[in-house]
Structure 1
Amino acid sequence: MTTQPSPPAPSATPIPLRWVGPVRVSGNAATGEVEVPLATYETPLWPSVGRGARVSRAVPDGITATLVDERMTRSVLVESEGAAQCLDAVRTIDAKIEELRALTRTTSRYAELLAVRHEICGPLLFLRFEFATGDASGHNMATLAADTLLGHLLATVPGIRYGSISANYCTDKKATAVNGILGRGKNVTAEILVPRAVVSRQLRTTAAQVAHLNTHKNLLGTLLAGGIRSANAHYANMLLAFYLATGQDAANIVEGSQGVTYAADRDGDLYFSCTLPNLIVGTTGNGKDLPGVDDALQRLGCREDRPTGDNARRLAALAAATVLCGELSLLAAQTNPGELMKAHTSIERAQGARHDR
């Protein structure tokens, strides 16, 4: 008789979490001042984002977060005899779009088919379904709808056969050009215009220095490194901490951290923006009812009685604003020789001293 191994015990050491801010936010998805939760082992991240949050409160409108677009995607693969047959299939599928939209609605109360895009590679036809998914991030909702649509297409479109339910043209948890161009999840731009005096007093730099560094480091440095549709300093740091604190699928920072930082000197004032085309967040679904996560979403104002999708839109706007806070603070620090390492060393030594007591 064999015994099954016991499941591992829950971790006794949760990831350290702190609330930072408040961050002042305005825009079409969130307004007001709100503290944001960051779960991370990189303790210098908290004061860094905190500095960006203080800057946001020194500006009347704070950080303006504009939600530009939203869609969750799932791609499928079908096979045919050649490219001509694939093109015939595409034309048939395009003519069925309203039929496919009606079929999508049978799979979920919230799923809506927005578009079907395609890519032909010889005898292979890649179909990228794009869905609205309400307040859910939509991974499972999109896959269920895509599975239903694929079965229907195989039964009604001549000349195609099954390839795969997942075709890597979505693209899920991979850094790709297609996501940067077409978007996956929430597409949000966060921006702020920081007065010259605030740049000098709180960031200890100038607008010209930040813009100069952004061009040389984020744009040219990333180009030389071969970055894919991305030019930023460390979006992944803020996103991972925010995702873990709010119950998101942490692996989605792979595409989520694709984004572009823009900085300009406007007569001494600093215009600064972070564009994130792949923010995959939700306020309902797997993991969102865990006590700590539910508490965090409530405190963020993302459990309110709003039209479907608005809670997730608010969460995406707050995520983008948080990214801007950390990105702005880091770039400002890097304009001054030695500041970044000095801050890291002093903070980490202070943490170590507390643990030694």
Structure 2
Amino acid sequence: MEPPILQAAVCPEPTAHHADILHHKSIDGQNIHDSISTLITDVQSGSLKLKDLDKHAHSPLEAVMVRRALADLPFANYDYKDAVGRCCENIIGYMPIPLGIPGQILIDGAQYTIPMATTEGALVASVSRGFKAINSSGGATTVLYSDGMTRAPCLHFPSICRAHEAKMRMESQVGMDVLRSAFQDSSEHCGLLNVSVSLVGNCIYPRFVASTGDAMGMNIVTKSVRHSISAMEKHGFDDLRLITMSGNVRADKKPAAINWIEGRGKSVVAQCCLPPNIIEEVLRTSVSRLIELNVAKNHIGSEMAGALGGYNAHASNIVSAIFLATGQDIAQNVVSSQCITTMEKSVGTIGGGTNLKPQASMLDILGVRGSQPDKSGHNAQQFARIVAAAVLAGELSLCSALASDDLVQSHMRLNRQKN
């Protein structure tokens, strides 16, 4: 079934927007009037499916123009070839999101300019205030203490005895050698770190943890895990049956205690030490009031709510804004925003949306685009540290606004501007 908006775009009656599209005589010097008219007719008649449009259009932009129809979206001045076949299907344009710069923040002795894409007024201003407080106090210090992407398939066996035997083998040194060898054969960028296996009835859920260099790494880990399962079949377990490559024990893009406890992606601690005068002058509150607020809201309040990794004020705000600006998988925000003083991250500086030119330019601003040949994984780890420090700034500012009862006034001033 086609998405509803695209069904509307190919309704039998030509729309005014179709006529608007046909006014374009050329794109990049190419005459496309007849081509677009033919493609629209073919899509309307059903002889051409929307998913096949890119194969028949002369260019990705031409395909976008055909799909647009009822969508009031910008579409010009965008390089669609970077997105087609990589980031999105059935493209009809692009969605502009305001991009703000809260300023620079000193992290581990180096200055970083942080990009944030958001539609929430006051967010960039709030983080900027946090930056000022941290910079005035000597900057933020970060420690990255864990780095490993996970994948956990579900494997079924004829009996609980065979399932248990497979669990014991996979967790043994002999089994790990087989699995690690399969990983290395599958990808030179993916290294198996460890495997822990859960047993439920006739099924096992092996949770593979792997290093992925500067990529977020879900695809290469999945490929390597599949290769490892094939190796198991060849080493005494040809009676296993793969139920799914994703058995949810890895808990991708959903809150789960296992990620909160063991981590998934990059785990970072960010710290700063603010003197009382900075708290009073920049954050407009006091040490005692800020500590009281943090305990009452982020700790006790979160416990009362039954929070799972949500012991913070608004970590998701900062993580999402930076992820959007830098081409990250935005759904990973669910796991990446789990924090008290730690951030569990799933980020990368190569692959996926990081290949799009605007997002790549934001990684350039941060100095972490791509990969360093002699330091695999360094840029992605540094990016995780930067995000954690930015979250620290956002937490400081919002908690201070709550402690001083300035939140409502700030939002009314910065988020209610009339046109």
Match of 2:215 in 1: 136
Match of 2:396 in 1: 328
Matched, 1:34 2:102: no
Q: State the Cα distance separating 1:106 from its structure 2 match.
A: 1.6
- Give the whole-Å Cα distance in 2 for the aligned partners of 1:15 and 1:347: 17
Rate the CA distance shift 1:96–1:12 in 2: closer, same or farther, 3 A.
closer
Q: Of 79, 103, 106, which aligns to 2:156?
A: 79
SS across alignment from 1:52: helix
Does the 8 A contact of 1:154 with 1:161 survive in 2? no
Matched, 1:192 2:269: no
Matching residue's letter, 2:410 = A
Matched, 1:19 2:91: no
- Give the whole-Å Cα distance in 2 for the aligned partners of 1:229 and 1:119: 22
What TM-score, normalized by structure 1, do the two folds share?
A: 0.89
Q: Of 365, 377, 387, which aligns to 1:299?
A: 365
Residue-by-residue CA offset, 1:164-191 (whole Å, 9 max, x unaligned): 1110011100100000111110000111
SS across alignment from 2:282: helix
SS across alignment from 1:105: helix
Does the 8 A contact of 1:17 with 1:245 survive in 2? yes
- Give the whole-Å Cα distance in 1 for the aligned partners of 2:387 and 2:236: 42
Q: Of 316, 323, 326, which aligns to 2:384?
A: 316
Q: State the Cα distance separating 1:21 from its structure 2 match.
A: 1.8
Matching residue's letter, 1:7 = R
Stretch moving more, 96-105 or 313-322: 96-105
Stretch moving more, 288-297 or 151-160: 151-160
Q: State the Cα distance separating 1:85 from its structure 2 match.
A: 2.5
Quote the RMSD (CA, aligned, Å): 1.6
Q: Of 177, 182, 187, which aligns to 1:98?
A: 177
Does the 8 A contact of 2:167 with 2:199 survive in 1? no
Q: Unaligned 5+ residue runs, structure 1?
A: 261-273
Q: State the Cα distance separating 1:283 from its structure 2 match.
A: 0.5
Structure number with greater Rg is 2
Does the 8 A contact of 1:154 with 1:162 survive in 2? no
SS across alignment from 1:287: helix
Matched, 1:209 2:289: yes
SS across alignment from 1:194: coil
Stretch moving more, 189-198 or 13-22: 13-22
Matching residue's letter, 1:70 = D
SS across alignment from 2:141: strand
Matched, 1:149 2:245: no
Match of 1:48 in 2: 126
Does the 8 A contact of 1:73 with 1:170 survive in 2? yes
Does the 8 A contact of 2:146 with 2:268 survive in 1? yes
What TM-score, normalized by structure 2, do the two folds share?
A: 0.76
Match of 2:409 in 1: 342
Q: Percent identity?
A: 32
Stretch moving more, 107-116 or 87-96: 87-96
Rate the CA distance shift 1:102–1:12 in 2: closer, same or farther, 3 A.
closer
Comparing both chains, which one has the higher relative contact order based on Cα–Cα distances under 8 Å and sequence gaps of 6 or more? Answer: 1
- Give the whole-Å Cα distance in 2 for the aligned partners of 1:68 and 1:310: 13
Rate the CA distance shift 1:229–1:347 in 2: closer, same or farther, 3 A.
closer
Does the 8 A contact of 2:311 with 2:339 survive in 1? yes
- Give the whole-Å Cα distance in 2 for the aligned partners of 1:44 and 1:212: 24
Does the 8 A contact of 2:147 with 2:264 survive in 1? yes
Residue-by-residue CA offset, 1:175-234 (whole Å, 9 max, x unaligned): 000001111100001111100110111011111111111111111111111111331111
Q: State the Cα distance separating 1:11 from its structure 2 match.
A: 4.0
The number of residues matched between the two structures is 332
Q: Which structure has greater strand proportion? A: 1
- Give the whole-Å Cα distance in 2 for the aligned partners of 1:300 and 1:250: 18
Q: State the Cα distance separating 1:13 from its structure 2 match.
A: 4.8
Residue-by-residue CA offset, 1:127-166 (whole Å, 9 max, x unaligned): 1000000000001111111111112223323353222111
- Give the whole-Å Cα distance in 1 for the aligned partners of 2:95 and 2:228: 44
Q: Unaligned 5+ residue runs, structure 2?
A: 1-44, 51-65, 69-74, 76-91
SS across alignment from 1:323: helix
Match of 1:122 in 2: 201
Q: State the Cα distance separating 1:109 from its structure 2 match.
A: 1.8
Match of 1:271 in 2: none
Does the 8 A contact of 1:229 with 1:259 survive in 2? yes
SS across alignment from 2:342: strand
Q: State the Cα distance separating 1:249 from its structure 2 match.
A: 0.1
Match of 1:266 in 2: none
Matching residue's letter, 1:176 = A
